[in-house]
Amino acid sequence: MSGELPTDTHKPENPSEKPMQLKTDTITVDLKRMATDLNYGKQLSRGKGFRIYNEAFTKILGSNPSITQVQSRDYQFAHEAGVYIKSTNRVYFTANFQTCDPIALYSVDASTLEVSDDDFSGVVQANGACNYKDKILYS
């Protein structure tokens, strides 16, 4: 279902902290080694940071990339999607983890980093999303 603007957007009840910079590692992945060395593949999945599978990605990251933790909650609320919509300047994501009843839709304002709980009345059970013609399309 393609979402226009949410019918109800409000601040979360218990955001636990303000945005903070996280330690970030940037690793260029050795694709041949990853295909033949299971332990190498496991190591790549550990830690916070960027995994570079194609050198062109470094042009997007720049010389000193960073990760900002916008919010933390006591349950897994940022579980799926992560879709940026330019016209709203927001990143939309979903949570269908066990504690969400049955799903939850969220977005973060890219300028203010404010997280909102969103309600798109036509979305019944989102498990992810994509950008379709600069609108959010939940799947």
pLDDT in tens, the chain (139 residues): 444 444 344 444 455 556 666 667 888 999 999 999 999 988 888 877 899 999 999 999 888 888 888 888 777 777 788 899 999 999 998 876 665 556 788 899 999 999 998 888 888 777 788 999 999 998 8
| Model confidence pLDDT, tens digit, residues 83-123 | 999 999 999 988 766 655 567 888 999 999 999 988 888 88
10 Å CB burial of residue 23 (0-12, 13-18, 19+) is: exposed
The conformation of residue 53, written as its DSSP 8-state character, comes to S
Which tokens in the block code for residue 104?
Answer: 């939850």
Which pTM was predicted?
Answer: 0.66
Phi, psi (rounded to 5 degrees) for 40: -60, -45
Residue with tokens 């709980």: 117
Amino acid at position 107, single letter:
S
CB 113 within 8 A of CB 17: no
